[in-house]
Every structure is written in structure tokens, then in C-alpha cells.
Chains A and B, each alone.
Chain A
Amino acid sequence: MTESILELPLDEQPDPGEFIRAAMQWHFNPETGSPYWLERAKSLDFDPRTDVTSFGDLARFPNIVDELRDVRVEDLIPRGYGPDPDIVGIFESGGTTGPPKRVIMLQDWWRRSGAWISANLDAHGFPRDVNWLGLVPTGPHLVGATLARLAAYRGGIGFSIDMDPRWVKKLIGGGKAEEAGAYAEHLVEQASFTMRTQDVGVLLTTPPLLERIARNDELVGLINEKIRGIMWAGAHMDADTRYLYRNEVFPQVKLFGVYGSTMILGGSAERLGLGPDDPCIFDPPSPIITFLVIDPDTGSRVGDGERGQVVMNHVSRNMLLPNNLERDLATRIEPPAGRAGDSVADVSPVARFGNEPVIEGVY
């Protein structure tokens, strides 16, 4: 009974409190919870089954994502799935800050999450029954695995390329920006082979790679000839850039952004109907995936329209990943009516320095 509310399609709107209570029963009942959480609960100073009764109570959980670097993935599977759970795959975080964190994706969550993204693609005018080409991280990265499955779900074939984002980060961190650039060029070249010879109708990529593609007049021509939708993921796109793509570079191509993270097993979708001057707003499928924009110094939520750091929650039958302070900054935006948490806009990496005026010298 309590589980069924956890299995609704993502566009349904369960009462957030009821939903959270059902999830706590699932994850902390010795018969249904995962070995990881059942063990971890012993060191909590509260009982999630009685003390976590509302969406806001998720903030009582410690941020456990660092523990996901070491946990046996088998221990992350809720026992309620039985002895033979249907596992889609193990996915890892980007690996920017040390060894990767791992999550496990089970079939039921994958199906519901995929159906939700697909419905968003329909709403944004993306074609069905066309092939997809992905220039996104592959291997242990969720977005790469999403590509083939989403393409198949929508009646097409998924083409992909090899892409290791950790190597790129290592190059950039080591001051080897040129090598990173050469690797990115290599990725674009790999994609161009598919683009030239195959029927491809949707492109899935990241804003930096899309910018690189846009430098190449031949590829811009191929995209305008073949591609009807570009789905971008994983980084920030400002309103001016989006305007240029829509009006000058790819005027006939639909553009749709998702902002996600491995640590929420999915993401949030660009709001439909944004005007050219609106920032890119992302709405998560609350209450399963929720965001809060907080002031990192005080931990309290910032006001609407203010900037802060993004806290992410994932609460499903599949996993419980509460209260994770991500590295991104965003503007807090009012969510669609009835949704818990915040929507976000203008996502960017946590503050970079470099704006201090240089004193010595005349320039």
C-alpha cells in the first residue's frame, strides 16, 4: 500500500509528505531496505521511519555521497526487490573530486525516468522514430547509457563515441588545455563520421562540445540538414548562447536542455515555453528528485531569484540519496504549482576567482 505511491509515473503529483513517509518505510524496513541504509541508520541520531515525515525533514540526513566511493554496490540494492533484482547498470560520478561515487540503477526507476524524459522530448517537439547520436561521456557514465536506451525507447538507434571526461579534467587540471582541446577535436571528428554517413535525427551533447561543433561550418551544415533536435546536458548555457543557436546557427532545430547528476540518478528538464530573454529554467520531477538552493555559509534557503548552492535529493524505491550539496551554483526559481523544493536557473560551477584587480602594472 505504502509502496504504490512510490511507483507513480513522474508526472503524477503525490502529496510530498505522504510520499516521503512511504519512502522512509521502504528504505528503513529491515525487509525492504538496502543493507547499506539499514546499517547506516544505526549511526543516525533519529529514526527515519518516525522522524522523517515531510519533505523538509530530508535535511536531517547527513550527506552520504562520499561513502558511495567505497560501498559494495550490491549493498545498495533494497531487499524489497527480492533475490533477483533487474539491474540496468552501475553508474559513476564524474570523478572530479577523487575516486568515483557509484550508484545502481534498477529497471523500474529507469523505465519511469525514461518515460518522463521522453514525454518532455515530445512536449519540446522532438521527433520519434529517428536515430540518435551522442557526444556525451560513455563507459560508467549515466548519460551515455541513457542515449542508447532513450533512442530505442523512442523508436530509433543510438550511435555513440568513446568519451572519457575524467581524462579531460585531468588534462585541464594539469594545465594542459591544448591537449584537452585536441581530445575534444578528436571527439568531434569521431562524431562527424557518423553524422556524414548515417541517418541521424537527434543529437545529444554538452554545451562545450556543441560550441566546438559550431566552429565547424561543415558540421553546422550537416546538423541543419539532418538533425531536428539537439538535447544538451551537463553544463550551463546562457540565454545569449541559446538565442544564437535558435536564431542563427541552428534555426530549424529544436533545442532542449537537461540538468542532471549521477547522484540523483537522472535530472531535471528545461521548462517549456521560455522566452528568448528568460534564463534556462530546469524543473526536477519532484518529489522524487528535488532541489533546494541554499546559502552555503548559513545552510538556509536563499530567496526567490537569489543565487545559492544546489542541494539535491533523490528519493525513490531504487535509492535514497538525500541532502547532497552539489558543487553547482544556481538561481532559485519558483517551481511549478504543487511541486516541492525549488526549480533552478543559470547553473554554473561554484565561484571562480580572477576578478580581483591587479595592482602592480598599468594595465
Chain B
Amino acid sequence: MTEPLVLDALGPSGPYRARTRQPIPDVAGNPLAELSLVPKLFVTRAMSALRRSRLLPRQERLAALTEAGQRFATGEVDGMSAGDYQYTVSRMSGNPLPIVRKAAAAIARSAAEAYRSAQQARPVGAVNDWRESTAGRGTAIWIRRGSVFAVHAAGNHPGVHSLWLEALSLGFRVAVRPSRREPLTPYRLVSALRAAGFGDDQVVLLPTGYEAADEILRQADLGMVYGGQDVIDKYAADPTVLPNGPGRSKILITADCDWREYLDMLVDSVSHEGGTACVNTTAIFVEGDATPVAEAVAQRLAAIPSLPPEDDKAVLTAYRLDDAKKFENYLHSAADGATAHLGGGGVVDELGDGSAVLRPAVYQVDDPNAPQVNVELAFPCVWVAPWSREAGTAPLTNSLVLTAVTRDERLIDELLADPAIKNLYLGNHPTYWMEPGIPHDAYLGEFLMRTKALIRD
């Protein structure tokens, strides 16, 4: 690399290059980009500009979204080709290049489908437009709960930027605070949205430090944040903020099914997306002997090669060496009392340039209620635990996704009834499965919209 990439804030009157800039290194620690950090005053003014801005009519919005998605995934945006973008993200975030490519295509698809997907959340009794004929008899109409939506985005995976496009499609004006780990994806996406027809005052990118970050949420009508348990706790009592917390996704295999038939799904659920997604499996529960499952999963994961993230065949996520070592230390102290099938001797594999991949880890615990089963780490790391009817659904709760491989319909009913299991996949479906139009953590539209009664002459 020669000159670092310059990532401006994208404010309501165009790009803004701040005097305060944060260096964004690549996974080897070399300077890769410089991100403008805007002060609170900039945020305040940007948020009030969003509030004053014109609403783009629906047909124009949706056309612009589709076009923006295409530009984002395949075109040149702000002078950068799609290939350069994907390469740069892989070096910046450590996400394997094939994953970045897939995520870019998924974002384009989400952009095109954003409105249709959002509509899945509309109550069956509600219409979108007061002009519809049913309004004469009285109807519900679906309306926005505000006009300005804010996102504190995450940088673990480019795919997190698919979701807020639904808010844009529904007519919200949107402010995105990028993660300082990987701000390039939202920079490119907001740039593409603007190039495709959204006004500078309709969607903004506001990179900030911690102090001004709260201002973005405070000045928005509704907001969405990504974070760990601390972030979830912070916003738990705030009805205007939707937190996206730890996934702690899990898989259950009961004795009436042969786990060998599901081995691909088990392995993929752990390692797909480089292990960095909230939908990656954190724990596998086995009714019966868990040891052969742990051994088989470990054997398969051990075969994954260590490659730099920009490699076409990369599977594992790369980190700066010191960060990778922190993960390893954390893993080894968390694993106290567990049996290692893979990764017990270390998971850090240096790539020689100051970066390292984190290789998979498979540990077995002897109790379904062992604390480890909820320890979610941002690389392929899975805790294999025994499960029994006596243990019940308690160890399986608090999961973004639970894949249940079972024929036991009563158990399925119980799992379905638990609202703390956010998504339930039955049978041979990996925990990372997602589709536009299918809720991820309930429909975003449930949070963004409400109904009001309407009757007219």
C-alpha cells in the first residue's frame, strides 16, 4: 500500500474530512485507511438535517436501493472497484475474501428486496396507503414510528449492513455510525446509495468516538445497536433502541437422529462466515455420547488450511497477532475444566506478516449447564456438551438460532414456545441460514412500524 485510503464522514452537505482522523490498520498492523471522526456538534447538525430532509417517494427509493446494491456489489463506487473493495475489506477486517464476496452479493440482494422483506412484517389487517379502497370501510394503516433511524454498526462481518436497508426502504432517514474496525463497507454502501439517488441529507455516515456516539442515538427516533452483553444491558430499558447482542447460537441433536448424517451441517455452522457471525454455532448439545461428535467435528475442522484472508480459498478469520493472542488467552482461561479435542495447544497460527488466523477450537464439557456453552468467540470455537431429557430446554435458551435435530414433536413445541430462542431451525439447516423476508431477530419492521386506525369518506 502507498497512501492510506481516506474515508470521509458522509454528512448532510456532502463528504467531510475531519481534522481528527483515526488510522485504520490492516490485519498486519500496517496503515490501511484513515477515518474522519466527527465531533458531537457535527452529529447534532447532521441529525437535524435528516429530520428536515424530504422523503423520497417510494418508487424512487426502491429503484435507488436496487441500483445502489448493484453498484455496491459490482460497480465502481467513489473511485474504487468492487474487487478492490473486497480485497481491502478482507485485509482490514480479516474476514476471508470468499465471505466478503458473498456478503457483498447478499447486500445487493437485500437492497433489492428490502421493501418486500420489510412488508413481511406488516400486520394482515394493515394497508400501506390511505388511498386504498379498504380505507372507506375502516382499516389499519402501517406507519413509521418516527422519521430518523440510527445504526451503531458492527465490524465483525460486512453482512450486518444488510438489515438497515429495510429502514431506508420504509422511508426512514438513516444515520450509520460505522465500526472503527471495518468502516469501508458502510462508507461504500452509503456512497452507492447517494450515487443512486438518495440525497446527502437522507442517509449519512457519521464516524465518531464514544462521546458523540450516544448523540446519534439520542437525536434519532429509533436506533439499532450491535454489541456485547454490556451494550445489551445499557439499552435494555430503552424502548427506542433495538440491541443486537451476542448470538450464542446452538445445535441440539437428540438420540432419535444419527448425528453422522448431519456432520456437514455441524461443521459448517461452526466455521462458515469465518466463525465471526452471531449465527455461528457456539455449542452443540448431544443426547447420548457426545465424545464421537466432538471428535468428528474436530477432525473436520482441523483440515481447514491457514491462509491469509485475501486468499481465494481462505476460510478462517485473521486478526492482528496481539489481538489473536488475547483471544487465545481468553479461550484457554474460559476452557478451564473442559476437554480439548482441537485447539488445546493453541489456536493462533501466525501468517508471518504480523497477522495470524485463529484456528478452530473444539472443547467438550461434561454438563449441559456448564458456563462455557454461552462463551461466544469470534472464530470457529464450539463447546460440545451432553444433553438429556432431564436437562430440558434450559441450557438451550438465550440463543439467536437453535438448530434442533430431533423427531420429538413435544420437544419442538417447547423450544418454539421459548421466546428467548429467537429462531428455530429443524433438521439439516445450519445456524447461519438467513433469507430476506425471514426474520433475523424478529422482523425489523415490528420495531420500526406501528398501526393506526383509518377510515375515510
**What residues of chain A have their CB less than 8 Å away from a CB belonging to chain B?**
211, 214-215, 217, 238-241, 243-245, 248-249, 277, 354, 357-363
Asked if residues B156 and A362 are in contact (CB atoms below 8 Å), the reply is yes
Using a CB-CB cutoff of 8 Å, which residues 19-39 of chain B contact chain A? 19-20, 38-39
When the two chains form their complex, are residues A362 and B246 in contact, meaning their CB atoms are under 8 A apart? Answer: yes
B19 touches A277 (CB 8 A): yes
Say which residue of B39, B157, B219, B230 sits within 8 Å of A238 (CB atoms). B39
In the bound assembly, the distance between CA atoms of A248 and B45 in angstroms comes to 10
Partner of A363, one of B40, B45, B244: B244
The complex places the Cα of A362 from the Cα of B282 at a distance, in Å, of 11
Q: Inside 8 A of A215's CB, which chain B residues have their CB?
A: 44, 48, 219
Question: Least Cβ distance of A174 to chain B in Å?
Answer: 16
What are 13 sample pairs from A and B whose C-beta atoms fall under 8 A apart? A239-B19, A240-B19, A240-B38, A244-B39, A277-B19, A354-B210, A357-B326, A360-B228, A360-B229, A362-B154, A362-B156, A362-B157, A362-B377
Given known pairs A211-B41, A245-B41, the reply for A363 and B48 (CB within 8 Å) is: no
Cβ–Cβ contact A360 & B45, under 8 A: no
Known A-B contacts A360-B375, A362-B246, A363-B156; A241 and B227 likewise in contact (beta carbons under 8 Å): no
CB of B277 closer than 8 Å to a CB of A? yes
Q: Which 10 A-B pairs have the closest CB atoms?
A: A361-B228, A363-B154, A241-B39, A363-B226, A361-B246, A239-B19, A359-B330, A362-B378, A362-B156, A358-B228
B376–A360 contact, CB under 8 A? Answer: yes
Partner of B41, one of A214, A217, A361: A214
Q: Is B447 an interface residue (CB 8 A)?
A: no
Query: Which of A214, A243, A359 is in CB contact (< 8 Å) with B45?
Result: A214
User: Across the interface, which residues of B come within 8 angstroms of A243, CB to CB?
Assistant: 19
Can you name the residue of chain A whose Cβ is closest to the Cβ of B273? Answer: A362
**B276, A238: Cβ atoms closer than 8 Å:** no
Report chain A residues within 8 Å CB of B280: 362
Whether the Cβ atoms of A360 and B210 lie closer than 8 Å is: no
- Contact check, A360 vs B330: say whether CB atoms are below 8 A apart: yes
CA distance A46 to B245 in the complex (A): 61
- Assess A360 versus B38: contact at CB under 8 Å? Given A215-B48, A217-B48, A240-B18: no
Identify the closest chain A residue to B18 (Cβ): A240
Residues in B whose Cβ lies below 8 Å from that of A239: 19-20
Output the nearest chain B residue to A239 by Cβ-Cβ distance.
B19
Tell me the bound Cα distance from A358 to B230 in angstroms.
10
> How far, in angstroms, from A116 to B456 measured CA to CA in the complex?
71
- In the assembly, what is the distance between CA of A363 and CA of B210, in Å? 15
Does the CB pair A359–B327 fall under 8 Å? yes
Q: 1/0 contact trace for B209-251 toward A, CB 8 Å? A: 0100000000100000011111100000000000011110000
Alpha-carbon distance between A361 and B44 when the two chains are bound, in angstroms? 30
> A363-B156, A363-B244 provided; 9 other pairs, C-beta below 8 A?
A211-B40, A215-B48, A239-B20, A240-B41, A277-B19, A358-B228, A361-B378, A362-B246, A362-B276
- Does B42 belong to the interface (CB within 8 Å)? yes
From residue 35 to 79 of chain B, which have CB atoms closer than 8 A to chain A? Answer: 38-42, 44-45, 48
Q: Which residues of B contact A238 (CB under 8 A)?
A: 19-20, 39
B377 and A360 contacting across the interface, CB-CB below 8 Å: yes
Given contacts A361-B229, A362-B246, contact A241 B210 (CB under 8 A): no
In whole Å, how far is B238's beta carbon from the nearest beta carbon of chain A? 10
Complex Cα distance A238/B245, Å?
A: 33
A240 in contact with B20 (CB, 8 Å):
yes
CB distance from B143 to the nearest CB of A (A): 25
Given contacts A359-B377, A360-B377, contact A240 B48 (CB under 8 A): no
Q: How far is the CB of A166 from chain B (nearest CB, A)?
A: 21
User: When the two chains form their complex, are residues A362 and B19 in contact, meaning their CB atoms are under 8 A apart?
Assistant: no
Q: CB-nearest residue of chain B relative to A352?
A: B210
Distance A293 CA – B62 CA, assembled complex (angstroms): 56
Residue numbers in B under 8 Å from A240 (CB-CB): 18-20, 38-39, 41-42
Give the distance in Å from the alpha carbon of A243 to the alpha carbon of B39 in the complex.
11
* Across-interface contacts of B326 in A (CB, < 8 A): 357, 359
Asked if B278 is at the interface (CB within 8 A of a chain A CB), the reply is: yes
B149-181 interface (Cβ within 8 A of A): 154-157, 179
Complex formed: what's the CA distance from A211 to B227 in Å? Answer: 27
Once the chains are docked, how many angstroms separate the CA of A329 from the CA of B250?
Answer: 47
B247 in contact with A362 (CB, 8 Å): yes
B294 to nearest A CB, angstroms?
22
State in angstroms the CA–CA spacing of A305 and B394 once bound together: 58
Using known A-B contacts A217-B48, A243-B19, determine if residue A361 contacts B245 with beta carbons closer than 8 Å: yes
Q: How far is the CA of A362 from the CA of B229 in the complex (A)?
A: 11
- B323 on the A face (CB < 8 A): yes
Residue on B nearest A238 in the bound complex, by CB: B39
Q: Which residues of A contact B18 (CB under 8 A)?
A: 240
The minimal Cβ–Cβ distance linking B279 to chain A, given in whole angstroms, is 9
CA A238 to CA B42, docked complex, whole Å: 12
Cα distance, A293 to B80, chains bound together (Å):
44
Interface centre among A217, A238, A240, A354 (most CB of B within 10 A): A240
Nearest chain A CB to B434 CB, angstrom units: 15
CB closest residue in chain B, given A177: B214
Residue from A245, A249, A357, A360 within 8 A of B246 (CB atoms): A360
Find the residue from B44, B247, B276, B326 having the highest chain A CB count within 10 A. Answer: B44
Query: Which B residues are in CB contact (< 8 Å) with A211?
Result: 40-41, 44
Q: How far is the CB of B325 from chain A (nearest CB, A)?
A: 11
If A359-B327, A363-B244 touch, whether A241 touches B41 (CB-CB below 8 Å) is: yes
Task: Give Cα distance in the complex from A362 to B400, angstroms.
Answer: 13
Report the minimum CB–CB distance from A230 to chain B (whole Å): 13
Among A239, A243, A244, A363: residue with most chain B CB under 10 A: A363
**Given contacts A360-B246, A362-B276, A363-B244, are A244 and B42 in contact (CB under 8 A)?**
yes
A362 engages B41 (CB within 8 Å): no
Structural contact, A361 and B376, CB atoms closer than 8 A: yes
Q: For residue B43, which residue of chain A has the nearest CB?
A: A211
Residues of B within 8 A of A249 (CB): 41, 45
Interface pair B376/A244, CB less than 8 Å apart: no
For B152, the closest partner residue in chain A by CB is: A363
Of chain B, the residue at the smallest CB distance from A208 is B40
Given contact pairs A358-B230, A361-B246, A241 touches B40 in the complex (Cβ within 8 A) = yes
Chain A minimum-CB-distance residue to B229: A361
In the complex, what distance in Å separates the CA atom of A361 from the CA atom of B376? Answer: 5
Residues of the B chain whose Cβ atoms lie less than 8 Å from the Cβ of A244: 39, 41-42, 45
Q: Which of B293-347 contact A (CB under 8 A)?
A: 323, 326-327, 330
**Cβ–Cβ < 8 Å partners of A217 in chain B:** 48
Q: Is the CB of B40 within 8 A of A357?
A: no
Contacts of B179 in A (CB 8 A): 363
CB proximity of A260 to chain B, nearest CB, Å? 22
Cα separation A358 to B156 with both chains bound (whole Å): 12
Specify which of B229, B247, B323 is in contact with A357 (CB 8 Å cutoff).
B323
* B278 neighbours in A (Cβ, 8 Å): 362-363
Is A362 touching B323 in the complex (CB atoms < 8 A)?
no
Which residue of chain A is the closest to B155 with respect to CB atoms? A363
B229 partner residues in chain A, CB cutoff 8 A: 360-361
**In the complex, how many angstroms separate the beta carbon of B301 from the nearest chain A beta carbon?**
18
Asked if residues A362 and B277 are in contact (CB atoms below 8 Å), the reply is yes
Q: What B residues does A357 contact at CB under 8 A? A: 323, 326
For the complex, what is the distance from the CA of A245 to the CA of B377, rounded to whole Å? 44
A363 to B380, CA, bound (A): 15
Question: Which of chain A's residues have a CB closer than 8 A to the CB of B330?
Answer: 359-360
